[in-house]
Amino acid sequence: MTLFIRRLGNALRPILMTSPEKILALARQVLAIEADAIHALSARLDHNFTCAVELCLICKGRIIVSGMGKSGHIAGKIASTLASTGTPSFFVHPGEASHGDLGMITPQDVVIALSNSGESPELVAIVPLIKRLGAKLITMTGNPQSTMAREADLHLDASVTQEACPLGLAPTASTTATLALGDALAVALLDARGFGKEDFARSHPGGALGRRLLVHVQDVMHQGEALPKVHADASLSEALLEMTKKGLGMTAVVDANDHILGLFTDGDLRRHLDSPLDIRATPIREVMTTQPLTILPNRLAAEAVQFMEQRKINGLLAADESGRLVGAFNMHDLLRAGVV
Q: Model pTM greater than 0.75?
A: no
Mean pLDDT value across residues 123-127:
94
Please list the alpha-helical segments (H only) found in 116-172. 121-133, 147-151
DSSP codes, 141-191? ES-TTSHHHHHSSEEEE---S--SSTTS-S-SHHHHHHHHHHHHHHHHHHH
Whether the pLDDT of residue 118 is over 90: the answer is: yes
Mean pLDDT value across residues 97-119:
92
The contacts of residue 209 (CB under 8 Å, 6+ apart) are 200, 201
pLDDT given for residue 339 in this prediction: 77
According to DSSP, the residues that pair with 283 across neighbouring strands are: 235
Query: pLDDT-based confidence at 24, cuts 50/70/90?
Result: very high
Query: pLDDT-based confidence at 10, cuts 50/70/90?
Result: low
According to DSSP, the residues that pair with 66 across neighbouring strands are: 113
> Exposed e or buried b for every residue in 255-265, given b needs 16+ CB within 10 A?
eeebebbbbbb
The three-state secondary structure class of 194 is coil
pLDDT given for residue 215 in this prediction: 84
Query: pLDDT-based confidence at 275, cuts 50/70/90?
Result: confident
pLDDT tens for each residue of 132-143: 999 999 999 999
| Mean pLDDT, rounded, of the chain | 89
The contacts of residue 327 (CB under 8 Å, 6+ apart) are 217, 218, 221, 222, 223, 227, 297, 317, 318
Decide the pairing of beta strands 294-295 and 315-319.
parallel
Would you give the distance in Å from CA 71 to the centre of its chain?
A: 24
Mean pLDDT value across residues 257-267:
94
What is the C-alpha to C-alpha distance for residues 241 and 235, in angstroms, rounded to an integer? 10
Which range has the worst mean pLDDT, 30-39, 171-180, 188-197, 312-321? 188-197
Mean pLDDT value across residues 131-157:
95
Complete domains list, the chain, with CATH: 19-195 (3.40.50.10490), 217-336 (3.10.580.10)
Would you give the distance in Å from CA 106 to the centre of its chain?
A: 31
Q: Count the neighbouring beta carbons within 10 Å of the beta carbon of residue 217.
A: 25
